Amino acid sequence: MVYKTFGVCSKEIHLELENGVIKEVSFVGGCNGNTQGVAALVKGMNAKEAISRLKGIKCNGRPTSCPDQLARALEEYLEKLS
């Protein structure tokens, strides 16, 4: 799945889930070290757990962040699977 982000520096998030577990995450754009770190931390994690940890995180006064956008992408991905 490719998720088009909004309100953040990254432009897209590429996701792959298997049985509700995050297999791969990569960000296009954004703060390279931070997005790589977030992607590495959630790899192998249950998508619902990642959503609960990341949703609502803000960045520099913005109402969203790259981690929050990842949570939104995961929610959308899970909705499409159900």
Q: Containing H/E element for 29?
A: strand 21-29
Q: Which residues neighbour 62 within 8 Å (Cβ) at sequence distance 6 or greater?
A: 7, 8
Q: Which residues are bridge partners to 32 per DSSP?
A: none
Q: What residue spans define the domains of the chain?
A: 2-81
Residue 62: CB atoms within 10 Å: 11
Q: Which residues neighbour 57 within 8 Å (Cβ) at sequence distance 6 or greater?
A: 65, 67, 68, 71
The pTM (predicted TM-score) of the whole model is: 0.96
Q: How far apart are CA 60 and CA 22, in angstroms?
A: 27
pLDDT tens by residue, 30-73: 999 999 999 999 999 999 999 999 999 999 999 999 999 999 99
